[in-house]
Amino acid sequence: MWIETKTEVEEASRSRAGFSRRVLDGLMLCTGDMEHLDTYIQEKWFVLQLAVWGLRGVARVILANNPLSGALILAALYWASPWQGLLGTLGVLASTLTAVIVGQDSGDVAGGLHGFNGMLVALLMGVFSSAGDWYWWLLLPVCLGSAACVFLSSGLTTLLDHWDLPAAVFPFNIIIVLYLLCTGTNSPYFPHDPVTPPGAVEPNDTALIAVEVIRGIPLGVGQIYATGALGPSLLILGAVVLYSPLLGIHAVLGSAVGTLAGLSMAVRHDSLYSGLSGFNGALGCMAVGGLFFTFSWRTHLFAIASAFLSAYSDIALSNLLGTVGLPACSWAATLIATLMLLLTGSLAGYRIPIGQVKAPECNLRSRSQWEAGNTEERESTDV
């Protein structure tokens, strides 16, 4: 009997282990780049494909490449403001469709590489508009601006390809600045408020509230999607952790570094509380810590340096662009991440060629195989 019981217990435990393994496997299928999904949807309807491409595009904003993360983020945006959610959805669809129409590389389109700039343009147009929510005329510039991102994205990729650099969010930054310059503060059709630079003197100099500053750190992750509410910001952070826990840690770390930099430069309290001080640091930290470079303690230190550089550059650019009432958006993080990708010396050894960038955990795993096989390719891209 004992033997049988043992076998039963073993079997039960095995089936339990099998179940939890299956759950884990199922969970594992939802993390990382989810490449298996691409083969699955290949022969499905165009609408389903477009949805997956769009969701990948949504997640790409925060450097993730996972449609489930994208869905979570989109949910967070609708939660924060249904109007912003709608604009974001429209933006990502408009630019992805434009990319299909103007004949961009289908691999890029499927990877969501043509969606994230359009989405950001749409979100920021909504945030800066002073005409209030549900101002339907705004859909016109949202569609056109998102579509224009595809042109910039394609052109910049050709330009930067020589150094194996991505176009990143340069198209978004250019288009949103052009849009805000075009309309101006007194436009009769698309009015927007001028932006206050972080270095501006505050009317009444109150003491800094520590808990609000700490609350600004997770908000910094949400500010990547121009969301200033805590719940949606945490959901967005969750979406990043789903894609890659390592990236999630760097996001929070970068946002904290950005807040620290903001404190050291005595920026407006508002900037710290809303997370606006943190989001460039977060982006700069995420780009270096694991995504474009294999993770190691050295890369980690460089990621912190990148976060500091991004945060200080953001304060500087915000003060500069603030003199003409413009926001600095994510110019700082984009420029610093590009600089980091160009760096020679010890960091360059960890560099992953742009075409082979995957989730940080995946990068870490595949490094040894890749190192053996693609040495000659690396050399040719390093010219």
Judged by CB under 8 A, does residue 265 bind a second copy? yes
Per the CB < 8 A criterion, the answer to whether 118 and 150 are in contact is: yes
CB-CB neighbours of 4 under 10 Å: 8
Q: How far is the CB of 261 from a second copy (least distance, A)?
A: 9
Q: Does 94 bind a second copy (CB under 8 A)?
A: no
Cβ of 228: how many Cβ atoms within 10 Å? 18
* Residue choice 5, 39, 204, 344 for contact with a second copy (CB under 8 A): 344
| Alpha-helical segments (H) within 323-359 | 331-342
Chosen residue from 5, 39, 42, 158 binding a second copy by CB under 8 A: 158
Min CB(9)–a second copy separation in Å: 56
Give CA–CA dist 127/130, Å, rounded. Answer: 8
- Binding part of the chain for a second copy, among 13-21, 40-48, 319-327, 358-366 by CB under 8 A, reads 319-327
Tell me which DSSP letter residue 294 carries: -
Contact window for a second copy (CB under 8 A) among 3-11, 145-153, 221-229, 273-281: 145-153
Question: Between residues 237 and 303, which has the closer beta carbon with respect to a second copy?
Answer: 303
* Rounded Cα distance, 324 and 104, in Å: 35
Residue 226 zone, left/alpha/beta (φ > 0; ψ -120 to 50; rest): left
For residue 20, the tally of other CB atoms under 10 A from its CB is 10
Instruction: Give least dist CB 122 to a second copy, A.
Output: 17
Stretch that binds a second copy, among 173-181, 243-251, 275-283, 363-371 (CB under 8 A): 173-181
Burial class (CB in 10 A: 0-12, 13-18, 19+), 178: middle
52-60, 172-180, 242-250, 276-284 -> range binding a second copy (CB under 8 A): 172-180
**Residue among 149 and 249 whose Cβ is closer to a second copy:** 149
Q: Is 146 near a second copy (CB under 8 A)?
A: no
Strand partners, 129: 192
Contact with a second copy (CB under 8 A) among 1, 3, 47, 201: 201
Cα–Cα dist 104/152, whole Å: 12
The residue from 131, 316, 362, 364 that contacts a second copy (CB under 8 A) is 316
Both tokens of 70, joined, read 């994208």
**Number of Cα atoms under 13 Å in the Cβ half of residue 38:** 14
181 binds a second copy, rule: CB under 8 A: yes
How many whole angstroms separate alpha carbon 127 and alpha carbon 13?
53
Question: Does residue 163 belong to the site contacting a second copy (CB under 8 A)?
Answer: yes
Return the structure tokens found at 341: 């990708």
Residue 32 or residue 281: which is nearer to a second copy going by CB? 281
Which residues here bind a second copy, judged by CB under 8 A? 102-105, 144, 148, 151-152, 154-159, 162-163, 177-179, 181-184, 186-189, 199, 201, 264-266, 305, 308-309, 312-313, 315-317, 319-320, 323-324, 338-340, 342-347, 383
